[in-house]
Structures are given as C-alpha cells and as structure tokens.
Amino acid sequence: MADSALYRGEIHLHVNPDTGLILLRLGSLSLAGFCRAGVNVAGQPKVTVTGMRAVELAHDLIDDAHGKGQRLVVRFADGPHDVGLRLEVVVYESRPFVTLRLGVLNHGVSRVFVQTITPLDAIQINWGEGPLDGWVNGFHSWSFTGFVPHNCRQPRPAFGFLTRPQAANPTTPMPRRPGQYVGEWVGMLLDEGGQALVAGFIGVEDQFGQVYLDGRPGHRRLMLQNTADGVPLGSGEVMWGEWAVLYPLRLPHPDPLGEYAEAVARLSRGRLPAPYPSPGWSSWYQFFDRVTLDDLLRNQVALTKLRRQLPLTVVQLDDGYQPAWGDWLAHNDRFPSSVGGWAAGVRDSGFQPGLWLSPFTVEPSSSVFRSYPEAVLRTAGGRPVSGGVQLRRQLYGLDPTHPATQYLLHKVFETAIKEWGIRYLKLDFLYCGALPGARHDPSRTRAQALRDGLKLIRDIAGEDVTMVGCGCPLGPAIGLVDIMRVGPDVAPYWYPQLLGIRALFRESFSLPSARNSLAVSLNRHWTHRRFWWLDADNLIVRKQQSLTDAEVQTLVTVLAMADSHLVLSDDLPTLEPERIQWAASLLPYLPGRTEIPTFPCQTAPDMLIRRYAGPAGPHLALALINWQDVPARLSASRDVLGLPEQIPLLAFDFWSRRASVLPPGPIESAPVPPHGVVLLHLRPLVPGPQLVGTDLHISGGQEVVHWDVRRDSLHFDIQLERCADGAVWLKLPAPPHRAECGGKPAEIVATDQPGIYAVRVSVDGVAEVIIYSEG
C-alpha cells in the first residue's frame, strides 16, 4: 500500500492502516482520533461506523479552489450495514491549513439513513497542561457567538424549552460543563500563552456542521461533525460530508478567522452590494408590532425634510402590518390600504420601499396555515414543528421542499416585487426554513432545504433586489443574501430583560439588548465583505428611551467601526437635532479597515481600530469601550496600535470634540461612563500643517479628499454627500490669518492647545476650504 502520511511545513498527517488512527500534527500541537459516521436502517437505532482498517491508500496531486496540493485518500473496510468510509485529506502548497472530508458509501443492498458524518473525532490532544478557553460561532443571526472562558458555561438560550430554535440549532446538544464548547461551522480552542487552534467546516451549503470542543485537562477532545438529518443513501451510492479545515494560530493576530472565511468564500462565493448598501429607516425599534400607516407617513414626511442632512434612501416597514404570520399579502386594520399602495407612495416621494417578511414562518391563526396545511413542516408523527414563540405567538415552519410552500413563495414574492415594486427585502426568522422534521423531499438536508428556499426567493427577486437575512442560519445563505444580520436584536435598553426582569438574563446573549447586539456582531466581523455586508442591527439614537447618552454613543461608534449597514429606527419627527447629527455622522460609508486586536479572546471586545488612508495622511480611529457598570479609565498600548513609541500623537476625541497632543507612551483615557466609549482619531505628530480631526464624519477626516499645503496657505476639500455644519481641527505651524469655506469667510477658533485651531465649515455636499497663514 502507498505511504499513509502527508507532510507540508508545520502540518504532518498520518493514518495508521491497521487501526484507522489519524495522527495530526499542527506545529507544536498534536491530535489523535478517528473518522466515523452515524447511520441506521429503517426502524432501527443509529449505529456508528468507524474508519478502522484501511483497504486502500492513494496519493495524488490536485489543483482546486485553494490551489495546488497533495491529497491522501483512504478507503476503510466496510463496517455495520455494509457501510464503508472514504477519507480525503489535502495539504496545500500555499495554505496554512489541512482540509479533510469523509464520504459514506453504501455497499449493502438496502437503503441506509445517514445521520452524522464525522471526518475527525480527536479524542486525544497534546496541548500543555492547563485548561483551554473556547470561542464558538452560533447557528443563526441571533445565536451567541464569542469567547467562552474555561471556567464559565457556554451561554445558552433563556427558556430553552420554549424558544430554543430562536436562539440556537435545536439539534445541537448544549455543552453541560465549563470547559466544553460547541460551535456551529467553526470554533477555536485557545490557551493562555496565545496558542490557538481553528477548526471548522468550509463547506456550508449541504449539511450543517458542528465543532465540539473540550478544553478540560484529561478530557481534551475536538470533533468535527456534519448532521445529515437522516437522508437516505441507496445501495451503491456515496454521500460526502462537507470539507473541514484545521489550522494553528499565534495570537494576537490581525485576522484569526481570515483563512477560514476566505476558504469558505472560495467554495461558496459571497454576495456584496456595490459599492455599499443603501442606508435606510425602519419602523421596528420605535413602533414594534403596533406600527400604523400614519407612523410611516409621518416619518416619510420627516425623511423628505431631512433628505439633504440625513440621506437615508430606504423606508423599511417591519413586522406589524400583517393580520397574521403567513398572510404576508394582507394587512390589518392599522393599515387602511394595502402594502402595495403604501409602497407606491414611498416611491412617489423619491424613496425606496423596503419590506419585512418572514417567508418560512406561519402561525396557526393564519389563513395560510388553514388553507395549506401540507406546506407546514411536521414531525414524522404529523405534528407541526415549533419555530419558537414570538410575543406569545406560536410559530411554525414551512417546508421549503414542498410544492405548496414553493407556490406560496412565488405568490408572496412575485406580488411584493413585481406588483408592489419592493426592491429591498428584510427576510426574517429564516431558521424556520431549516427546522428538523419530516420533509416532503426526504433527500434534502435541513441546510439544503433552506438554501433551496432562499435560492427560489433570489430567483424570483432577481439579482438587483437587496435581500437582508435575519434569524438566518449563516452557512446556507452565503451568496444568496446581500446583507446579513450577524447578532441578536438591539433594543432601547442595554442589558437583556424578559417580562421586565433583568437579573436572570444577563448571560442570555440571544435576547434583544444593545449589549447583546454589539457584542455578538463584533464577534462576527470576520464575515463582513467576505460573505455579505454586515448588519449589526438598527441604530437607535433618540433621547426618549432607556439607553444613556453614553450607551447611544457606543451604539453609533460600534456601527461605524464595524462598517455596519445603517438603518435608523427612531420616530424622526420628534428626534432631537443633535441626535440626527449623530446618526448622520455615519454617512457616507467611507473605506477603512477594521481590526479587533483582542479577538477572539473577549466576549465583548473592548478595543476597535479602524485604519484610514487619505490625502491628509493616514490616521487611525481607536474606540475603547467600557463594558463595565462603573466608570473606568481605558488604555491602549502603542504597540497594539502599531504606532511609533517615541513620537507624540495628535489626538481628536470625537465625542468631546477635544483636540490634544499625546506624549510618548500608552494612550490613556479620562474616566469613561458605564457602557460608554472613547473614540480617538490618532495621527503621529509631524512638522507642518496637519489635520487633527473633524466633527462632520465619524471617521474623523476620511471625508477630506484633497489636501494641498502651499507656502502661505492650506487648501483642502471635503466630500460628504450631505449638508452639515461643523468644524475641522487643524494643527498649524503659524497662527492662521483668515479662512474661507466655499468662497465665504470662515470662523477660526483657537483651542486650549497651542498651535491647534478649529475652523467652522458649512458643507453642502462638498466644501472647499482655504486657510491663509499670517505674514
């Protein structure tokens, strides 16, 4: 038999042909385990087939989506029910990872049902002595995603027995003990010394995949498992699990999941709105499910008045117009006329109507539920499968593989898109298209059923309609949605609460709350612009709510630093002018690069960096977030920021509008209020005139598009695509004599810092500014 080993740099893999033991060395770590599959025959319990004795080993050279590589193929002797396994392992010339997948072959005469495909179950991991921390990805938009310290239990859904599918994958068992973790698609193990291991499925279209991790000393385990949902496999047929990857990492690292995400995107190409998604307004976080047509109309009037100042182009009606979930083409008595009539009015006033729909969800009182009972996904025993409970409403899922569901999807989306002219769809509760159950087409997995459903919607909608995924299992939506909600709901309060109770739910990361939406979305930033445009949920800026001013500033700042899709959800006619400015400061989206230096080692990352390059020189925005409940001084080392240690920095504090010069050494803040943020724009101090910052745009200067230093004057242009009054802070070697903005005199204000001046500017889309120095 051929050699049973593969080598490439730090990666070494060996399969023992007599026992099937897979030995994998990744740098200084080593893992040992087996591959397995779980299958059953009709009416009998599941049995495990383990790859043990190799009957064939083959090597070849390949050239696939990840480049040139060497492949090892191992065929194992048949196990129970004459099921055979075939393992493929690849190492690549220019990739730091090993990929593997497992095939299940039915060599028997009767059908088998495939439940699980496990390309690697590593039951032994050599990795130091201490306990290992975990990082886990969650199943859908609202699922907990983030760091789990080894001494804490992985956060689980509140009232799981009622609301499990709303928070997590209902078929994935939750880890019981601290030190055990389970991630959907991808997870990481981490040690104190900065060594990390990434393990995940890069194939995401056909089967859901979990990575089970145990970081406890003496119990270490890493299992990559696909769920095949009991799909039948006929005699002589083969079914492949998804491709998985493993790679070691040294932390800190600028982009720990970059290799993983790029590999996913090479197999399932992402979809990106170009050049960026249209910003909008939504009814949900102000009016919730009590929204009326009048609320919409008043806000449309306000949007028209604010158009130059706050150029939002989509008006998105959320949940609340329908008489019942499922009856999406009808409207309730808060809407005297049809949704189509409202949409036409929105278009007439020059905006784009956007509509919320929950295409795979029905409630029992809907006419769809009564008229198309066959479209509702059921258990093998015929009971509808629960999709959870929303505001005391029992939700059920539709079966996307059923022709009746397909007929309903056609009807809803053809009406909404072709008749009503909706070009922006927020598609919610999409996990309801992937609930576990007995599907009409039993050969489709849950992941395939959802992807089929989303594909059908995309086909009806066409390429130009913007689709936002929400409550959506991440993998199967890649390439089909343009924008993805990557965290739970924001709310007009900071911590999660249920029925007015806060104390019990602090660790319930899937419940609506500002903290939850920010923390989880930041842990999914690595998906941004790779799979879709990231949506960290709507912005709420109004004063009339339970968020403090500091908390609202944190919301604004995180959305900016994460480069999130912007949708404002406040009652605009009553919104305070200052708050309108806060929201407007996020527009337009300006190019920059986000870094989260502590990722993946903090549940709620407290430091965000965004690097900008522009004609006024490169600068960086540094956001330090105080997640604590008491005021705190926050700091960042220059090393982490990649800034020279010895050079003073020009700093502009965006929220306090203060310019200063920071001495060499670490950057330290004044006390930051609970849940507040300090946002600094930093530039190394150099001789000559310099931009310090602006209060026009949250990037603090990226809107300056032209910068020309002459002998006695400084010329620069501002491009904002909206109207704004504000100021630009400048460091000038000589006191300015006079200033002009758009040909008119501009006021110069001295600051308390020698050599730093603020120049008042008025921008009408663009502005040309000239500063003349004395003498």
Positions marked active-site:
428, 489
Angle 731-732-738 (CA atoms, 0-180°, nearest 5)?
115
CA dist., res. 604 & res. 623, Å (int): 13
CA dist., res. 70 & res. 92, Å (int): 6
Q: What is each CA distance from 159 to 67, 167, 499, 768, in whole angstroms?
A: 46, 10, 12, 58
Query: Are the beta carbons of 490 and 537 closer than 8 angstroms?
Result: yes
In the bound state with ligand 9PG, the residue whose beta carbon lies nearer, of 268 and 508, is 508
Residue of 318, 482, 606, 695 interacting with ligand 9PG (CB under 6 A): 318
Here the tokens at position 711 are 């002998």
CA dist., res. 87 & res. 96, Å (int): 20
Tell me: does residue 559 bind ligand 9PG (CB under 6 A): no
Query: Are the beta carbons of 450 and 400 closer than 8 angstroms?
Result: yes
In the bound state with ligand 9PG, the residue whose beta carbon lies nearer, of 496 and 726, is 496
CA dist., res. 39 & res. 292, Å (int): 52
Quote the least distance from Cβ 295 to ligand 9PG, whole Å. Answer: 15
Tracing tokens 């990481």 back to the chain, one arrives at 188
Query: Are the beta carbons of 660 and 669 closer than 8 angstroms?
Result: no
Q: Characterise 391 by phi-psi region: left (phi > 0), alpha (psi -120 to 50), beta (else).
A: left
Query: Are the beta carbons of 470 and 421 closer than 8 angstroms?
Result: no
Q: Which residue is nearest to ligand 9PG (CB)?
A: 319
CA dist., res. 66 & res. 260, Å (int): 11
In the bound state with ligand 9PG, the residue whose beta carbon lies nearer, of 469 and 475, is 469
In the bound state with ligand 9PG, the residue whose beta carbon lies nearer, of 13 and 472, is 472
Give CA 512 to chain center in angstroms.
Answer: 16
Quote the least distance from Cβ 647 to ligand 9PG, whole Å. Answer: 45
Nearest to residue 596, comparing CAs of 604, 585, 588, 584? 604
Tell me: does residue 570 bind ligand 9PG (CB under 6 A): no
Quote the least distance from Cβ 389 to ligand 9PG, whole Å. Answer: 7
CA dist., res. 487 & res. 528, Å (int): 13
Query: Are the beta carbons of 106 and 113 closer than 8 angstroms?
Result: no
Residue window 385-404: x/- pattern of binding to ligand 9PG, with contact defined by CB under 6 A: -----x--------------
Q: What is each CA distance from 443 to 40, 53, 153, 229, in whole angstroms?
A: 15, 30, 36, 9
CA dist., res. 312 & res. 298, Å (int): 15
Residue of 106, 118, 137, 166 interacting with ligand 9PG (CB under 6 A): 166
- To the nearest 10 degrees (0 to 180), the angle between helices 339-348 and 293-305 is 10
Nearest to residue 167, comparing CAs of 531, 632, 502, 496? 496
CA dist., res. 744 & res. 288, Å (int): 46
Query: Are the beta carbons of 531 and 264 closer than 8 angstroms?
Result: yes
Quote the least distance from Cβ 458 to ligand 9PG, whole Å. Answer: 20
In the bound state with ligand 9PG, the residue whose beta carbon lies nearer, of 197 and 450, is 450
Q: What is each CA distance from 576 to 305, 580, 675, 695, in whole angstroms?
A: 14, 6, 22, 17
Tell me: does residue 356 bind ligand 9PG (CB under 6 A): yes
- In the three-class reduction of DSSP (H, G, I as helix; E, B as strand; rest coil), residue 601 is classed as coil
Query: Are the beta carbons of 720 and 588 closer than 8 angstroms?
Result: yes
Tell me: does residue 327 bind ligand 9PG (CB under 6 A): no
In the bound state with ligand 9PG, the residue whose beta carbon lies nearer, of 315 and 771, is 315
Here the tokens at position 587 are 């527009």
User: Would you call the peptide bond into 275 cis, given omega within 30 degrees of 0 as the criterion?
Assistant: yes
Tell me: does residue 428 bind ligand 9PG (CB under 6 A): yes
Quote the least distance from Cβ 267 to ligand 9PG, whole Å. Answer: 28
CA dist., res. 635 & res. 748, Å (int): 32
Query: Are the beta carbons of 273 and 532 closer than 8 angstroms?
Result: no
In the bound state with ligand 9PG, the residue whose beta carbon lies nearer, of 566 and 770, is 566
Quote the least distance from Cβ 296 to ligand 9PG, whole Å. Answer: 15
Quote the least distance from Cβ 313 to ligand 9PG, whole Å. Answer: 19
Total residues in contact with ligand 9PG, by rule CB under 6 A: 11
Quote the least distance from Cβ 573 to ligand 9PG, whole Å. Answer: 22
In the bound state with ligand 9PG, the residue whose beta carbon lies nearer, of 51 and 155, is 155
Residue of 88, 319, 399, 551 interacting with ligand 9PG (CB under 6 A): 319
Tell me: does residue 284 bind ligand 9PG (CB under 6 A): yes
Tell me: does residue 564 bind ligand 9PG (CB under 6 A): no
Query: Are the beta carbons of 449 and 434 closer than 8 angstroms?
Result: yes
In the bound state with ligand 9PG, the residue whose beta carbon lies nearer, of 118 and 282, is 282
Q: What is each CA distance from 375 to 326, 381, 396, 398, in whole angstroms?
A: 11, 15, 10, 6
Residue window 486-505: x/- pattern of binding to ligand 9PG, with contact defined by CB under 6 A: ---x----------------
Give the count of beta carbons closer than 10 Å to the beta carbon of residue 291: 22
Q: Which residues make Cβ contacts (< 8 Å) with residue 348, sequence separation at least 6?
A: none
CA dist., res. 177 & res. 186, Å (int): 19
In the bound state with ligand 9PG, the residue whose beta carbon lies nearer, of 319 and 740, is 319
Residue of 142, 287, 420, 509 interacting with ligand 9PG (CB under 6 A): 142
Tell me: does residue 470 bind ligand 9PG (CB under 6 A): yes
Quote the least distance from Cβ 428 to ligand 9PG, whole Å. Answer: 5
CA dist., res. 485 & res. 356, Å (int): 13
Query: Are the beta carbons of 285 and 583 closer than 8 angstroms?
Result: no
Quote the least distance from Cβ 364 to ligand 9PG, whole Å. Answer: 17
Residue of 145, 163, 172, 564 interacting with ligand 9PG (CB under 6 A): 163
In the bound state with ligand 9PG, the residue whose beta carbon lies nearer, of 318 and 740, is 318
CA dist., res. 750 & res. 96, Å (int): 54
**DSSP annotation string for 19-62:** T--EEEEETTEEEEEEEEEEEE-TTS--EEEE--SEEEEEEEEE
Tell me: does residue 540 bind ligand 9PG (CB under 6 A): no
Tell me: does residue 535 bind ligand 9PG (CB under 6 A): no
Residues near ligand 9PG (CB under 6 A): 142, 163, 166, 284, 318-319, 356, 390, 428, 470, 489
